[in-house]
Amino acid sequence: MATAGIHLAASRTTFADLSGGRLREGAGGLHLVVLSPDVELARACLAEELRNVGRGAAATWADLRDTHATHRRLGDAYGYPACCVEAFCDAHAEAVLQGDSLGDNGLAIARAAARSASFHPWLGSLPGAFGAHAPTPLRHLPCRFDCAASLSLAEALYADLARVDPLRHRRLAAGLTRPVWVDRHGVATLASGLERSATHWSVKLPSGASARCPVRPRAGEALLPTVLPFAPRHSPA
Ligand SMILES: [Zn+2]
């Protein structure tokens, strides 16, 4: 299917969007869709995505290399910065090697947070967490929440969006203005009431409960749960 030179490749089957960004085949769910000016590229990317859905943890080095080759081909086709694709592959390898049942998205988010010196409001793209309402034009997880290559990509996408859809541009351009809480399963939730002590962040969750985590995890300390202090009240010391 093509409109205005853009081709669309869509899966026949539908998928349920599970916590932590995982997909599982399920009736009444969402179709997986790839858009591209190049119809063959759209079809090839969709085929790779479908091959990757539901794939279990790698059992051999060849499986792990194959999964990473898929991430790199898709990341390159979608224009994601190479630094972010490599960080995603590293987190995936660590999750597999540790037999981490939490999956790789939570680990990748926690490691990006640990690398970040600051949290840019445009880079809060968290897999599946905010869906179509994500206050960012990005659709990849940055290697850090102050990644220069991701910020350049966001600027370029915002410039396009300002031309074709000024209303949506105005709605998105403020970026994330609230802190985000990522739990032990990699599930991200918008929080409020961000406070920082010498050693800990604390936030209020939508349930009314409070949650806290270390500002910088110590060696050997669990990386999840974590607070992503977008729009902090107190700038880091
Ligand atoms: Zn990056």
Instruction: Give the pLDDT of the chain (237 residues) as one tens digit per residue.
Output: 545 688 989 999 888 766 555 677 877 788 889 999 999 999 999 999 888 876 777 778 888 899 899 999 999 999 999 999 999 999 888 888 887 666 678 888 888 998 999 999 999 888 656 665 677 889 899 999 999 999 999 999 999 999 999 998 988 888 888 899 998 878 888 899 999 999 999 999 999 999 999 887 776 666 788 999 997 654 444
Whole-model pTM over 0.75: yes
Q: Tell whether 8 and 41 lie within a shared domain.
A: yes
116 CA → ligand 1 middle, Å:
11
Question: How far apart (Å, rounded) are the C-alpha atoms in residues 65 and 81?
Answer: 20
* Centre of ligand 1 from the C-alpha of residue 206, in Å: 30
> Do 95 and 68 touch, CB atoms closer than 8 A?
no
How many domains does the chain divide into?
A: 2
Distance (angstroms) between ligand 1 centre and the Cα of 78 equals 14
39 and 110, same domain (yes or no):
no
> Ligand 1 centroid vs 50 CA: distance in angstroms?
25
In this prediction, residue 163 carries a pLDDT of 95
Residues 46 and 154 in one domain: no
Find where tokens 């990006």 sit.
112
* Positive or negative torsion for Cα 84, 87, 93, 96: negative
CB 178 within 8 A of CB 154: no
Domain-terminating residue out of 13, 39, 54? 54
Span from the CA of 227 to the centroid of ligand 1 (angstroms):
20
CA of 26 to the centre of ligand 1 (A): 33
6 and 68 together in one domain: no
Looking at residue 235, what is its pLDDT? 46
Spatial CA neighbour of 120 closest among 87, 153, 92: 153
CA of 36 to the centre of ligand 1 (A): 23
| 86 CA from centroid of ligand 1 (Å) | 8
Q: How far is the CA of 108 from the centre of ligand 1 (A)?
A: 12
Per-residue confidence (pLDDT) for residue 236, from 0 to 100:
43
Tokens of 137: 């034009």
72 and 36, same structural domain?
no
Do 97 and 28 fall into the same domain? Answer: no
Domain with 39 in it: 1-54
Same domain, 117 and 82: yes
> Does residue 85 lie within any of the structural domains?
yes
Same domain, 105 and 160: yes
Q: What is the CA(141)–ligand 1 centre distance, in A?
A: 8
For residue 97, the CA-to-ligand 1 centroid distance in Å is 23
Asked if 86 and 37 sit in the same domain, the reply is no
- Last residue of one domain, picked from the residues 37, 54, 71: 54
Are residues 18 and 67 part of one domain?
no
Predicted confidence at residue 100, as pLDDT, reads 67
Q: Is the same domain home to 62 and 168?
A: yes
Ligand 1 centroid – CA 222 distance (Å): 23
